Structure formats: C-alpha cells, structure tokens
Amino acid sequence: MIFHLVFCAGPCYDVLGFMLRCRLFTAGNGGAHPIVQQNKHQTDAGGGQQMEKTPRDFIFDNLLSMSAYWACTGAIIASLTAYYGFSLALSNVVTGLSGTLPILQLAGGLAYERTTRPLRFLRLCNGTWRVLLPLVFFSVLLPRTAGAPLMVVCYVLAIGIYQFACPSQTDWLVSSVEGRVRGDYYSVREMFFMLTYTGVFCAVSLIIDRAARHGAQQTGFLAVGVLETMLLAASLTVLLRLPAPERPEKAEPAPAAAALLEPLRNRRFRRVMLTNMVWSLSGMFIGGFAAVYQIQVLELTFFEIMVWVTAGNLCRSLCTPLMARLAARIGWKNVTALTIAMMACVAALWAAATRQNAAYLFPVLSILGAVPYAGMGVGFLKMQVATSPSATRSMYFSVNSLFNGASALLGSVLCSALISVLEAYPPHALRCIFFVGLAGALAAAVMAARIPCREA
C-alpha cells in the first residue's frame, strides 16, 4: 500500500500543481490575475515565475507536513499508547497534547520577534519537528520499556516545537503571499489540504486497523513511520525552497510585557480574540466530548468512525470554495458567525443521538459537523490579519493562540468535571453536556457577527 502511494505521488502532484496554477493565478475567463499581469511588465520571466511559485510552494508544504502531522494525532496516537500499555489517564494526557501545547506559541512569537535570522529560525524549528515525528512510530523497534519513554519524549518535542513555531510560520505565509494572490487563496489552500489529509488519514487508519486484526501492531506502526518519513522528507525539500520572510523595517523589539499588551490594547483584535476564546471553550463541549461519546456511549466501531469522518472531510473540502464565494458576498466575519451557528445546530443533534438511532444519525453528524470548518478557520485567520499590523503580526498570532489554548484547556477541565458529576446518573444525562456547548456556540456566533471588521 505504501509503495503504491509513493509511485502515484509524482503524477498526482504534477496534476495538483497545474490545478493550483490555474486556480490561484487566473481570473475571469482564464485571464491572468492583475498582480501577475503587472509583474510581467515590471520583472523578467524568472521574477514572474517566482511570484507564481512561492504561494504554490506554501500550499505544497502545508499539504505534506500538516497531513502527516494531523493524521497521527487523536485516535492514532491513542492506539500507540494502548500498544505500550499506558494507563487511561496517561493516554489521555499524551493524546491531548496537540490541544494543550499551543500555550507555547507565545514564547515562539516572542523568540521570532527578536531573532535576527528569521529564515534560519523557521527552517530549524520546522525541520526539527518533522524529523522527530516519525521517530514516535519507530520507537516500537525498541523493547517496550525503552520504546515507551522514547515515544513520549519524541512526541512531546515534536508537538511542542511545532506549536512553538506556529505563529512565525503563519506570519511567514501571510507576509509572503498577501497581496500577490487571489482573495480565495486561503480557501483553496484549505480545500487541497483537506483532500490530502483525508487520503493520508485513510491510509494510516487502514494500516493500523489491518495490523490490529492480524495481531501485527508493531509492523503496522512501522509502516506508519515509513509513510510519515516519506511525507515529511518531501515536505523538507519544499521547505528549503521557500524564500526568506518579508519583515518590515522596525525599531528595536519592545520589551516582552509591552509586546504582550499591544494586542490586548487593540480593540478590534481583542474582540476577534474573545470570540475565538468563547468558541474554543464551547467546542470542548461539542466536538471534544463527541470524540468520547461516540465510542463509550454510542459504542461505534473504529471502522464506522473512520468511514464517516472521511466522508465528512471530503464534504468539508468540497464546501471550502463555496464558503469563499459566500464570503465574497457577505464578508468573512459573517461566514464565521454562520459556521459557528451551524455548530450549535450540530450540538443539538448530538444531544438527540442514542445507541438506537446512531446508525443513521452519526453519518449526518459527521458530515454536518465537518462542513462549518470549511469556513471557520479561514474566517478567523482573515479577521486576525485584518485587525493586526503587519510589523508585529506574529506576536498578535501568538497572543491569540495563548488565550485560545487557555480557553480550550479550561473547557476541557470543566467538561471533564461535568462528566464526573453526570456519570452517577443514567447515560442519557450526559447529553446535557452538548446543550452547554450549544449555548456557548450561539454566544460566539453573535459575538462574531458584531465584530467591527469591514475588511473581513
């Protein structure tokens, strides 16, 4: 299966490259994008190719690295902790690192603001976590007493370094492509990412499922490690082609306290951040709890979950360009408000799900629960870009991630506490948790609609 994927990758990426050229740099009936036309008169052929190549390379880097990253979180890493015989509490801590370690993004933003060699900083951080992540799965080559701690160390470092570099990576992307591509660039990037991620997720899930059924879990994890290595090695070749970030001239970096307070004093950005915080907290009572509810209460099989999550991801990728078209008419802040309101409806449906109706309601939930994310992530990013100055944007992203991660952590703690209380009652009492998420999602939707952000 893995070698089949490798041999097919070349032609697929050639086709994808052609599609991206047509999609991102054409307008109307096939005419060149105005920025590209202008550059043809201002630069030579090589310069024009660079303008086209850079945004496309950022998409390829995102496809390869993020597909490998997200495909190996959640259920996949949970199955690896089960292989090592971790306790349920420890397994929950390790599995949840991708949601709790964004708190490191503030430190990463501060470090990036003060570095004098931003390109080296970006390459070092991005290269390091991409080397560490496959080692998580190759740890099964060691005896379990040695492999388990190595797996935890590599996973913590990989996730931590990725989160540390996340604000600078986002700033690198925005500064390199903003004003040079069509307005739907981020939506196209999201659409192709979801298609690639879905394929990688299916491949990894099938490998693990097949290995488990044949009692060959070690071989399955090794195969996943090989697949991860190939994807991340390919992403490193793209990473090294990306140009140095464009950083506007500015004075000496402000003290850390002043840099932290600047985004909080920006009224428009503060409202975007507060909306994101309310949604992150509410989301732990919807999607976060649903991940446990579907297994322990609805008793769905891993294969059922994989099939319908894949279907939901495909629908999400297909709806991404539709969200961009809708945003062109009503603005990204209204799209964000609409998608959060849709998640409130999803929460209501989760509250209605039982073991008796799960067979036909879970497919609906998987698809409806995925569609809002076709516009929500891009919407929040667009609003952050529109309300933050370019000179200190990475710090704005870092502060947003800090408070967003803290809200998600608080939501997780509160949700866990509520579960502990409701476990003493019949199973249907747990459905009350979804109503808490519903109320929070409605509040976040109203907050998003009232943000003074005309640019988005």
- Write the pLDDT tens digit of every residue in 408-429: 888 877 887 887 788 778 777 8
Domain final residue, candidates 246, 267, 289: 246
**163 and 216 part of one domain:** yes
H or E segment at 32? strand 31-32
What is the rounded distance in angstroms from the CA atom of residue 432 to the CA atom of residue 453?
34
- What percentage of the chain reaches a pLDDT higher than 70? 84
**What is the per-residue pLDDT across 241-284, written as a single tens digit (0 to 9) for each?**
999 987 666 556 556 667 778 888 899 999 999 999 999 999 88
Provide φ and ψ at 43, rounded to 5°. -130, 170
Q: Euclidean distance between the first and final Cα of the chain, in Å?
A: 43
User: How many separate domains does the chain show?
Assistant: 2
Residue 396 belongs to domain spanning:
253-456
Work out the average pLDDT over 228-245: 94
Residues 119 and 456: their CA atoms lie apart, in Å, by 29
Please give the average per-residue pLDDT across 192-219, as a whole number. 87
Number of residues that this document lists for the chain: 456
And the tokens for 407? 């809200």
pLDDT of residue 455: 59
Kindly indicate the confidence band of residue 48, based on its pLDDT and cuts at 50, 70 and 90. very low
Over the Cα atoms of the chain, what is R_g? 22
In the DSSP assignment, the letter for residue 358 is H
User: Taking the CB of residue 101, how many other CB atoms lie within 10 A of it?
Assistant: 18
Is the pLDDT at 433 greater than 60, yes or no? yes
Q: Which of 38-42, 116-120, 281-285, 429-433 has the lowest mean pLDDT?
A: 38-42
The verdict on 90 and 237 lying in the same domain is yes
User: What is the rounded distance in angstroms from the CA atom of residue 255 to the CA atom of residue 189?
Assistant: 35
How does pLDDT run across 135-183, given as a tens digit for each residue?
A: 999 999 999 999 999 999 999 999 999 999 988 898 899 888 877 787 7
Residues 330, 335, 337, 342, Cα dihedral to 10°: 130
Percent of the chain past pLDDT 90, that is, above it, reads: 36
More confident residue, 356 or 9: 356
Element (H, E) at 26: strand 26-27
| Residue 211 shares a structural domain with residue 281 | no
Domain identity same for 66 and 9: yes
Residue 445: is its pLDDT beyond 80?
yes
Which pLDDT belongs to residue 82? 81
**How high is the pLDDT of residue 429?**
82
Q: Return the DSSP state at 298.
A: S
Four-residue CA torsion sign, 132, 397, 393, 371: positive
In whole angstroms, what is the distance from residue 402 CA to residue 286 CA?
Answer: 21
Q: In this structure, what CATH number is given to the domain that contains residue 389?
A: 1.20.1250.20
215 pLDDT tier (thresholds 50, 70, 90): confident
Statement: residue 374 has pLDDT above 60: yes
109 and 28 inside one domain:
yes
Q: State whether 260 and 334 are in the same domain.
A: yes
Name which of 37, 35, 443 is nearest 278 in CA terms.
443
Q: How far apart are CA 5 and CA 95, in angstroms?
A: 27
Here the tokens at position 17 are 């490259």
Mean pLDDT (the chain) is: 82
The larger pLDDT score, comparing residue 113 to residue 90, is at 113
Q: Are residues 182 and 261 part of one domain?
A: no
Domain end, chosen from 205, 229, 246, is at 246
Instruction: Using the Cα atoms of residue 418, residue 423, residue 427 and residue 429 in order, give the sign of their dihedral.
Output: negative
Say what the pLDDT of residue 128 is. Answer: 97
- Same domain for 238 and 109: yes
Do 286 and 345 belong together in one domain? yes
Res. 14: pLDDT tops 90: no
Model-wide pTM > 0.85: no
Is the per-residue pLDDT at 29 higher than 90? no
Q: Residue 306: CB partners within 8 Å, gap ≥ 6? A: 201, 202, 205, 206, 209
Higher pLDDT, 13 or 374: 374
Q: Give yes or no for residue 186 having a pLDDT over 90.
A: no
CATH number of residue 188's parent domain = 1.20.1250
More confident residue, 32 or 450: 450
> In the numeric block, which tokens belong to residue 209?
């499922």
> Which residue shows structure tokens 């809200």?
407
Q: Which two tokens stand for residue 322?
A: 């539709």
What's the token pair of residue 20? 């991206």
Which pLDDT belongs to residue 341? Answer: 96
Domain co-membership, 239 together with 273: no
Task: Give the residue from 220, 246, 272 where a domain finishes.
Answer: 246
State the pLDDT confidence band at 58, using cuts at 50, 70 and 90.
Answer: very high
Is residue 165 within 8 A of residue 129, CB to CB? The reply is yes
Sequence-separated (6 or more) residues with CB below 8 Å from residue 256: 110
The encoded tokens of residue 276 equal 């994101």
- ∠ CA(192), CA(194), CA(200), 5° rounding? 105
Average pLDDT over residues 366-373: 91
Which amino acid is located at 200 in the chain? Answer: V
Rounded Cα–Cα distance for residues 92 and 333 (Å): 34
Q: What pLDDT shows up at residue 252?
A: 60
Q: Which of 51, 15, 67, 22 is nearest to 234 (CA)?
A: 67
Please tell me whether residues 171 and 273 are part of one structural domain: no
Least confident of 38-42, 66-70, 432-436: 38-42
Q: Is the pLDDT of residue 91 over 80?
A: no
Helices (H), 25-143: 34-42, 45-71, 75-83, 88-95, 97-100, 105-114, 118-138
Contact 298, 355 (CB under 8 A): yes
CA-to-CA distance for 336 and 324, rounded, in angstroms? Answer: 11
Q: What is the predicted pLDDT for the residue at 456?
A: 59
Predicted pLDDT of residue 345: 95
Residue 110 has pLDDT above 90, yes or no: no
HSE (CB half, 13 Å, CA atoms) of 78?
Answer: 13
Closest among 167, 140, 25 to 82, alpha carbons compared? 140
Query: What is the pLDDT confidence band of residue 188, given thresholds at 50, 70 and 90?
Result: confident
Query: DSSP assignment, residue 451?
Result: -
Same domain, 233 and 262: no
Q: What is the mean pLDDT of residues 99-109?
A: 81
